[in-house]
Structure 1
Amino acid sequence: MSKGIIDNKQTGLVGDVLKENISKGSKISVAAAHFTLYAFVELKKELRQIDEFRFIFTEPAFIEGKDLIRDQIKKNEAMLYGADEMAKE
């Protein structure tokens, strides 16, 4: 796979592109706002083959001010668990 941007729109779904191109010994770098447990489960087989995985979060998890940090954590949890789970709290 050549280096480049995979955007879930024009260049295909990230998970599908990774599944097609990961092979034993691969080194992968990802920059994204989040990576869910669901994504990990879907790519578990492929990720076991890689030698290196670097992930850069593009959205800051910790920002100045207690309310901002709490709001960011809730937003991240909503993306991780889904809106339905957060509504049950």
Structure 2
Amino acid sequence: MRKKNTSVIFATESLTDVDKSEISSSLYESCPTKLLLTNPYAATTGKALYEKIGLNETEIQQITNAPNYSYYYTSPNGRRLFHLRLGPVQMD
């Protein structure tokens, strides 16, 4: 697929879904870019799963405490928490 300059996007609402998948190890290894939503339970019940995808304690706390419409981006190029300030038109 790289020769054709294509990309594949995998999306899930829960890291638990990925972890229970038969191809979880391949997904962890082959998906270097991740976009994570806020999760108030990331530091408690979900902590082990966030650690499994390579996040450290500080990053997990950011995901736990971030306001709604915040996202955590992680890739080989860097990591960053960012906010989308969407108005009513974009949310419709």
Give TM-score scaled by structure 1 length: 0.33
Higher gyration radius (CA)? 1
More helix by proportion, 1 or 2? 1
